[in-house]
Amino acid sequence: MFKKTLLAGALGAAMLTAALPQTALAENTLRMAYDADPVSLDIHEQLSGGILQLSHMAFDPLVRWTKDFEFEPRLATEWEQVDDTTMRISLREGVTFHSGNPFTAEDVAWTVERLKRSPDFKAIFEPIETVNVVDEHTVEIISKRPNPLLLNMATYIFPMDSQFYSGETDGGKAKDEIVKNGNSYASRNISGTGPFQVTNRQQGVRVDFERFDDYWDSESPGNVDAITLTPIGENATRVAALLSGDVDFIAPVPPNDLERIESDEDTNLVTMSGTRIILFHMNQERVEAFQDPRVRQAFNYAINQEGIADRLMKGFATPAAQFSPEGYSGHNPDLEPRFDLDRAKELMAEAGYEDGFSVSMMAPNNRYVNDAKIAQAVAAMLARINVTVDLKTLPKAQYWGEYDDRAADMMMIGWHSDTEDSANFHQYLTECPDADSGGGQYNAGNYCNEELDQLMVDANLEVDLEKRGEMLRELEQGLYDDAAFIPLHWQNLAWASAANVDIEPVVNVMNFPYLGDLVINEE
């Protein structure tokens, strides 16, 4: 199944007598298919799954997440909180970029400065004031205020080769400029410290990677010498390519094909509970009834999350009653989905709406797994408390424009916290909407609770992580009691590979497989 260029004949025999390890003889090529390829080689151009997957292949972050949300040192070897706003980080020595330049503290400072200019990343890096270079392998990151999330941010700092990206191109343009729509130097040229070098790229067709010979992490078990990434947008084709042996690794795996792949003995399936919450907002500005917390609670009691997860999603989702998935500091284990139709009817009657009312609803039909079907199921469940739903589903390209206009009374959204932190959910989805600060940017419910907002602000200044977690759990409880929105589930993640490709250890809930550590076994 894998291309193996075995050195034949006398040469092979000579090498065997020299007792070289077996792996030196065989070349492992991983052929993989994602649903899309990275839009650019500039990792600061867009904050998206595809770009982060590329970042973890061609670059290394300062620290990275382990499977259970711990930090694992990568280019940072040690870190220490000097005072409330200063963190001192020691950097790994003896690391070189693909271009051959050595990796130093300058590169970290340069990268953070560039992140603060990127339209997509600047919001995340706003709390950082500056990065001071202490010596060649030490930096101090200075925050504007106490910053409990600095290490979370550090997972996004993939030091770039500052020498390589400095200066001007032949056309007289700065090599470090970040251009969303245009041909910038950084979008075509790449130099990182990561396990793989990009050797060839045809956008929308394929990207070729080769293992970087001078990669610093010599302890990594990874034995993949080359990777070919092909985007295959069509679900059925992606699965067919794996089953027919044309590719060795695919993601995502469509839920309808999970069983088929599981039962195939030549393939390997890995699934795990994800962190993307799918939910409905109830717009209080458009519908007066939603201003009554009893009505919002009644809607929550009327929805059978477990039914949706079991039957509609075929178990490919974890029913949710809050934003934070398990493992996040704000995950409140006391909160359970509260499906209870009688209670829902009671609450509607109490609020004076036993005869129900009608609402409009919108959902995308190609953004999340089964999104349109989920919306139909929710509409059907609401009919049982006499609420008539006028549902409209749209392709994602059109949906988000409608979402920004708050075009329906109930709107679906899925959200993954960029910082893997609970406060992020509240900040974007349920904070009081404020156009100036950008708070509640996706709060299509127009829900507003200043007490909870204050709780989030306080939590974001609390450096004692124990205490901070408690505050975030209280925040989740507050949103739950208030029935600020209708949580549905966390979408699961799935990857599949050929049986001899051991993907289980390298995939994670963030969905950036650490392919540098991937092991392909001998068949």
In the complex, least distance from residue 302 CB atom to another protein, rounded to whole angstroms:
28
What are the b/e assignments for 218-239, b being 16+ CB within 10 Å?
A: eeeebbbbbbbbbbbeebeebb
- Amino acid present at 47: L
CB nearer another protein, residue 145 or residue 396 = 396
- DSSP state at residue 174: B
CB nearer another protein, residue 115 or residue 389 = 115
In the complex, least distance from residue 6 CB atom to another protein, rounded to whole angstroms:
21
CB nearer another protein, residue 123 or residue 432 = 123
CB nearer another protein, residue 109 or residue 124 = 124
CB nearer another protein, residue 101 or residue 169 = 169
| Residue 126: alpha-carbon gap to chain centroid | 20
Contact 90, 79 (CB under 8 A): yes
CB nearer another protein, residue 294 or residue 392 = 392
CB nearer another protein, residue 419 or residue 449 = 419
CB nearer another protein, residue 203 or residue 454 = 203
With residue 132 as reference, give the H or E element that holds it. Answer: strand 128-135
DSSP labels for 27-58?
--EEEEEESS--S-S-TTS--SHHHHHHHHHH
CA distances from 240 to 150, 231, 259, 523 (A): 43, 14, 14, 21
Sheet arrangement for strand 76-83 = 76-83, 86-91, 138-143, 128-135
CB nearer another protein, residue 123 or residue 519 = 123
CB nearer another protein, residue 53 or residue 297 = 53
In the complex, least distance from residue 415 CB atom to another protein, rounded to whole angstroms:
7
Contacting residues toward another protein, per CB under 8 A: 33, 39-40, 46-48, 119-120, 122-124, 179-184, 187, 202-206, 230-234, 236-237, 240-241, 243-244, 246, 366, 395-398, 400-401, 404, 415, 418, 424, 428, 435, 438, 441-442
Which tokens go with 133? 């270079």
CB nearer another protein, residue 69 or residue 400 = 400
- Cα separation, 417 vs 21, in Å, equals 43
Q: Shortest CA distance to 203 belongs to which of 41, 411, 373?
A: 41
In the complex, least distance from residue 69 CB atom to another protein, rounded to whole angstroms:
20
Q: Is 505 exposed, middle or buried (0-12, 13-18, 19+ CB in 10 A)?
A: middle
In the complex, least distance from residue 234 CB atom to another protein, rounded to whole angstroms:
6
In the complex, least distance from residue 266 CB atom to another protein, rounded to whole angstroms:
11
Which tokens go with 335? 């909160």
In the complex, least distance from residue 518 CB atom to another protein, rounded to whole angstroms:
22
Number of Cβ within a 10 Å radius of residue 1: 14
With residue 362 as reference, give the H or E element that holds it. Answer: strand 358-364
Please compute Rg for the chain using Cα positions.
Answer: 25
Angle, CA of 386, 389 and 390, to the nearest 5°: 150
| Sign for the pseudo-dihedral over CA of 301, 306, 311, 313 | positive
In the complex, least distance from residue 125 CB atom to another protein, rounded to whole angstroms:
12
In the complex, least distance from residue 493 CB atom to another protein, rounded to whole angstroms:
18
In the complex, least distance from residue 346 CB atom to another protein, rounded to whole angstroms:
37
Query: Quick check: helix, strand or coil at residue 272?
Result: strand
- Cα separation, 478 vs 484, in Å, equals 9
**Matching residue, tokens 């040469």:** 11
In the complex, least distance from residue 291 CB atom to another protein, rounded to whole angstroms:
25
